[in-house]
């Protein structure tokens, strides 16, 4: 009986101790995307991505303009077709149609490759920055004794009140000015 009482008392002490420790856990929050976009590295990478995106867009626009010009020429030939030149114009239109189809396929291929290149470059440039930001968040959370840090940027936190916003500490750790504003991404972010 005495052992049973000791066991119950021990379980109660453990339970209450666990509840006390749980109640003491600190919870913080941060907008990680905003911090990410404030880093100098992101702004540099963003400019590189914008330049690459602009170059790919310009290349595709040039190809599309040539395609439209050839299409206009083919339409003009079709309008000027008569019985006298029908067989010659029909042969030219058939050749032009094949050429236009080949050009369209080439444009689609260049567009696909451009998209892949942009995604690959985005991954190459942004992954190290993401790692750096996450390391800074983890270091600040550890230094300040947080058990949990919630990321308010991904929309999963519906409501938070209280807790401690560790954004300023992470900005300081990353060397970001307190009044810095996030850069607007040059291209849609890849999955992070």
Structural domain includes residue 183: no
Q: Between 39 and 181, where is the model more confident?
A: 39
pTM here is 0.68
Structural domains in the chain (count) = 1
Structural domain includes residue 16: yes
Query: Mean pLDDT score of the chain, rounded to an integer?
Result: 83
**Maximum C-alpha span of the chain:** 118
Where is pLDDT greater, at 142 or 155?
Answer: 142
- Does residue 10 sit within a domain? yes
Residue 107 has pLDDT above 60, yes or no: yes
pLDDT tens-digit profile of 17-35? 444 445 568 888 899 999 9
Mean local confidence (pLDDT), 144-168: 76
Write out the residue range of the structural domain in which residue 33 sits.
Answer: 2-174
Residue 184 lies in a domain: no
- 138 assigned to some structural domain: yes
In a domain, 87, yes or no: yes
pLDDT, average across residues 131-156: 88
Tell me how crowded residue 170 is: count the other CB atoms within 10 A of its CB: 25
Residue 149: exposed, middle, or buried by beta-carbon count in 10 A (0-12, 13-18, 19+)?
buried
Looking at the domain assignment, is residue 188 inside a domain?
Answer: no
Q: What is the mean pLDDT of residues 29-42?
A: 93
Question: What's the confidence (pLDDT) of residue 157?
Answer: 57
Is there a domain that residue 139 lies in?
Answer: yes
Question: What CATH number should be reported for the domain holding residue 122?
Answer: 3.30.910.20
pLDDT score, position 160: 54
What is the per-residue pLDDT for 12? 47
Strands (E), 68-118: none
User: What are the C-alpha distances in Å from 52 to residues 88, 159, 184?
Assistant: 44, 39, 16
């Amino acid at each position: 009986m005495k052992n049973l009482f000791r066991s119950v008392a021990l379980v109660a002490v453990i339970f209450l101790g666990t509840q006390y420790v749980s109640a003491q856990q600190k919870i913080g929050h941060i907008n990680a995307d905003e911090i990410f976009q404030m880093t100098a590295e992101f702004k540099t990478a963003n400019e590189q991505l914008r330049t690459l995106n602009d170059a790919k867009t310009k290349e595709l626009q040039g190809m599309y303009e040539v395609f439209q010009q050839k299409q206009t020429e083919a339409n003009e030939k079709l309008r000027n077709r008569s019985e006298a030149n029908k067989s010659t114009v029909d042969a030219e239109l058939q050749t032009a149609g094949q050429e236009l189809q080949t050009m369209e396929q080439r444009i689609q291929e260049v567009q696909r490759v451009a998209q892949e290149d942009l995604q690959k470059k985005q991954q190459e440039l942004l992954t190290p920055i993401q790692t750096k930001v996450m390391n800074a968040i983890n270091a600040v959370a550890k230094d300040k004794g947080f058990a949990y840090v919630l990321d308010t940027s991904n929309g999963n936190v519906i409501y938070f009140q209280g807790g401690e916003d560790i954004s300023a500490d992470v900005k300081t750790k990353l060397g970001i000015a307190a009044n810095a504003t996030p850069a607007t991404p040059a291209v849609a972010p890849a999955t992070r």
